[in-house]
Chains A and B, each alone.
Chain A
Amino acid sequence: MNQEGRTASTLETRESAVSLCDVCVKRGQFILDHISLNIMDGERFCVLGKTGAGKTVLLETIAGRLREETGEVLLFGHHVRSIKPQERGIGFVYQDYALFPNLTVKENIAFGPVSLKRPPDEIERDVRHMLDIFNIGRIQDQYPHQISGGEAQRTALARAIIQKPRLLLLDEPFSALDRATREDMYRHFDRIWRTIGCTILFVTHDFHEAIRFADRVAVLLDGKLRLVASASTLLQGQYEDDVSSFLGLKVADRFCDICDKGEINSEQI
C-alpha cells in the first residue's frame, strides 16, 4: 500500500521513459494497431496478453529493433532510432534468453561491462555480485547448452541488469522458473528496482505476475491496446466482454485472485 502511495505521489513529477504515439507495426502476422502508451521513469509497467498478441513485437519496437510504420516511439524524450543501440540505456531479456552460446555463463554476464572497457576488478566484483543475486555461481563456467531453462533465464537477466540500464525490457522474464524460484526473483527484482531505480517494462501472459510485480498493467489483445489500469484497481473495473474473459473476471476467479494476492502480500511483509 505504502509503495503505491509513493508511486502515485511521485509519478506526476517524473519524466516519461517510454512514449508511444499512435504506433503501428507490421511484422509477419503480428500487427500492432495504433498503440499509444506512456510509461513513467521508474515505473514498473506490465503488458499483459495472450501468446501471439504482439507482445514481443511491442517490446522490440520500443527497443528500436523494429521500425514503426506510423507514429513515433520516444525513449526518454528522444526518437529511439535516432540513438545508437549502444547509447539507448536499455536492457533486453528475451523469452528464450538468446544467450551467446560460445560464452560461459560468467562471460555472458561480463560481456556488457567488458564491452564498455570497465576496469577488470570492478567487472569481477559486479559479476560476482550478479552470480550471487541470481544464485548461478556454481554454473558460472558452463556453457548455455549445458544449463537448465531457469538457469539460462537468470543468466540472461543478470547479463542485462549488470549494465544498470535505465529501461529494462523483459519478455516473459520468469516463465521458465518454478513457483518458488519465481517468488525469489520477484523479491530480487523489487530490490534491484529500488537500488538501480530503473524503469521496468515486462510482458507476460500471467495475470498473477502482472498484479504482483507491476505498478500499472496494460492489456494487449490481437495487437490492440485495450486497457491501461493501475495494478491494484485492475480487478475492480468493468470491461468489455473479451477483456473481462481474458482477465478471467468471473466472480469465482476474482475471489481466488484476491486470495492469492493476499497471500503474496503477507509473504512479502
Chain B
Amino acid sequence: MHRERPEKRLRKGHFSRFSCAVTIFVLIYIVSAIGAIVYGGAVHFGDAIADKEVLFALRLSSTTAFISTSLCLFLAVPVAYALTYVDFRGKKFIEIMLELTLSLPYILIGIALLILFSSPVGRLLESMGVKVVFTSVGIVFAQLTVNLPFAIRLARTGFASLDQRWQFIAYALGASEMRYFFRIVLPNARRSLTTAFITVFSRAMGEFGATLMLVGITRLKTETLPGAIYLAVSTGNTNMAMSIAIIMLLVSALSLFISNLIGKEKKEGE
C-alpha cells in the first residue's frame, strides 16, 4: 500500500468526481443564499438585535429550547440505556415505533398534538392548570415531541459505541445496575451526550411546523425565532426577516463550533 495510490484513485474515480460536483453545487447554492441573507440583513442587524420583539423571540426560543432539550435527554437517556443494555419483551416493537415517529412530518405531529390537547383529555389538563394550546408550555411540548425519538437515537448511538463488556465486568465486580450506569456508562458517554444536547437544542431552536400547529404565532406571546421570521416575511418586512435569520445562523454556527470542539477533544483524549 503506497501513499500515492488513494490520491490517484480520488482523481480518477467517477464517484469522487460526482461528489465534487455536487459539493460545488451545494456550496454555490447555500453560500449564495446565506450570502444574500447576510448581505441584506447585516445592515439592519443592529436594529433587529435591539428590537423588543426580536429579543423576546430570541429569549423565548432559547428558554423553551433549553427546557425541552433538558426534558428530552432526561427522558431519552434511560430509554436508550434500556434499548442498548437490557433484553426485555416488546423491545423490538419499541424500536420500530421509535423509528416510525422519526419519519413523521412535523406538521402532522403538530396537528395530532392540537387534536389531542383540544380533546376532553386536553380540557381536563387545562382544568388542572396545564394550558398547552396557544401557550409557551405548548412550544416546549411541540419541541419535545418532535425531538424525543431523535434524542433517543442519538443517545443510543452514544451508548452503543461504548465497550459492551464493561457491563459484564462491572457486574462481576459486584456493581449494581445503578452504579454501573452512573459510574461507567454516563461518564464515558458524557461527550456524545453533550453533543446530543447541542444537536437537539439547535433543532429545537429551529422547530417551526409542530409549534405553528399547536401554538400558533402571537406577537410577544408565543413568537419564537422561526415564528418571527415567518411573521416578518408575511408582513412584507424582509429586512427584519433576514436580520433574524442571521441570529439563527449565528446560533447554528455556535452549536456546530461547540460540537466540533467536543469531537476534537474526544479524539485527543483517546
Chain A residues within 8 Å of B, Cβ to Cβ: 63, 65, 84-86, 88, 90-92, 94, 98, 100-103, 111-112, 115-116, 145, 159-160, 163
B188 interfacial contact with A, CB 8 Å: yes
Complex Cα distance A53/B176, Å? 33
B75 at interface (Cβ–Cβ under 8 A)? Answer: no
CB < 8 Å: which of A102, A111, A145 contacts B170? A111
A98 and B170 contact, Cβ closer than 8 Å, known pairs A115-B176, A115-B179, A145-B269: no
A163 and B270 contact, CB distance less than 8 A: no
List 7 tightest A-B contacts by C-beta distance, closest first. Answer: A112-B173, A85-B171, A115-B175, A102-B187, A115-B174, A116-B174, A65-B168
- The interface bits of chain B over 104-115 (1 if a CB of A lies within 8 angstroms of the residue's CB, else 0) are 000000000000
| Residues of chain A contacted by B168 (CB below 8 angstroms) | 63, 65, 85, 92
B181 smallest CB distance to A (angstroms): 13
B100 at the interface (CB under 8 A from A): no
Question: How far, in angstroms, from A97 to B183 measured CA to CA in the complex?
Answer: 18
- Are B188 and A92 in contact, CB atoms less than 8 angstroms apart? no
CA of A115 to CA of B166, assembled, Å: 14
CB contact under 8 A between A101 and B188, given known A115-B175, A115-B179 = yes
Pair B269/A88 contact, Cβ less than 8 Å? no
Contacts of A163 in B (CB 8 A): 173-174
Q: How far is the CA of A100 from the CA of B166 in the complex (A)?
A: 7
Which A residues are CB-close (under 8 A) to B171? 84-86
| Binary interface encoding of chain B residues 146-189 relative to chain A, with 1 for a CB under 8 A from any of its CBs, else 0 | 00000000000000000101101111111110010001100110
Say whether A86 contacts B169, CB under 8 Å: no
Distance between Cα atoms of A32 and B112 in the complex (Å):
53
Of the candidates A65, A85, A98, the one whose C-beta lies within 8 Å of that of B163 is A98
Q: How far is the CB of B15 from chain A (nearest CB, A)?
A: 31
Nearest CB on B from A33, distance (A) = 24
CA distance A103 to B170 in the complex (A): 12
**Residue numbers in B under 8 Å from A115 (CB-CB):** 170, 173-176, 179
Q: In the complex, A103→B176 CA distance in Å?
A: 17
Residue ranges of B at the interface with A (Cβ–Cβ < 8 Å): 163, 165-166, 168-176, 179, 183-184, 187-188, 269-270
A219 to chain B, nearest CB (A): 26
CB distance A94 to B172 under 8 Å?
no
B173 touches A159 (CB 8 A): yes
A25: min CB distance to chain B, Å: 16
Q: Which of B163, B175, B176 contacts A111 (CB 8 A)?
A: B175
CB nearest neighbor in A for B269: A145
- Nearest A residue to B177 via CB reads A86
Please measure, in the bound complex, the distance between the C-alpha atom of A119 and the C-alpha atom of B76, giving whole angstroms.
36
CB of B204, distance to nearest CB on chain A (Å): 29
**30 residue pairs from A and B, CB less than 8 Å apart:** A63-B168, A65-B165, A65-B168, A86-B171, A86-B172, A86-B174, A86-B175, A90-B172, A91-B172, A92-B168, A92-B169, A92-B172, A94-B169, A98-B163, A98-B166, A100-B183, A100-B184, A100-B188, A101-B188, A102-B187, A103-B183, A111-B170, A111-B173, A112-B174, A112-B175, A115-B173, A115-B174, A116-B174, A145-B269, A163-B174
In Å, the complex CA distance between A88 and B171 comes to 10
A111 to B176 Cα, complex, angstroms = 11
A residues within 8 A CB of B175? 86, 111-112, 115
Using A145-B269, A145-B270 as known contacts, say yes or no to A98 and B172 having CB atoms under 8 A apart: no
Chain A residues near B172 (CB, 8 Å)? Answer: 63, 85-86, 88, 90-92
Chain B nearest CB: distance from A107 CB in Å? 9
Provide the residues of chain B in CB contact with A88, threshold 8 Å: 172
Q: In the complex, given contacts A86-B174, A111-B175, what are 8 additional A-B residue pairs having Cβ atoms less than 8 angstroms apart?
A: A63-B172, A65-B165, A85-B168, A100-B188, A101-B188, A102-B187, A103-B183, A112-B173
Which residues from chain B contact A102 at a C-beta distance below 8 Å?
184, 187-188
Within the complex, what minimum Cβ distance (angstroms) separates B85 from chain A? 13
Give the one of A101, A116, A145, A160 with max B CB within 10 A: A101
With a cutoff of 8 Å between Cβ atoms, the chain B residues found around residue A92 in the complex are: 168-169, 172
Name the residue of chain B whose CB is nearest to the CB of A169.
B172
- A98 with B169: in contact, given A112-B174, A163-B174 (CB under 8 Å)? yes
Residues of A within 8 A of B173 (CB): 111-112, 115, 159-160, 163
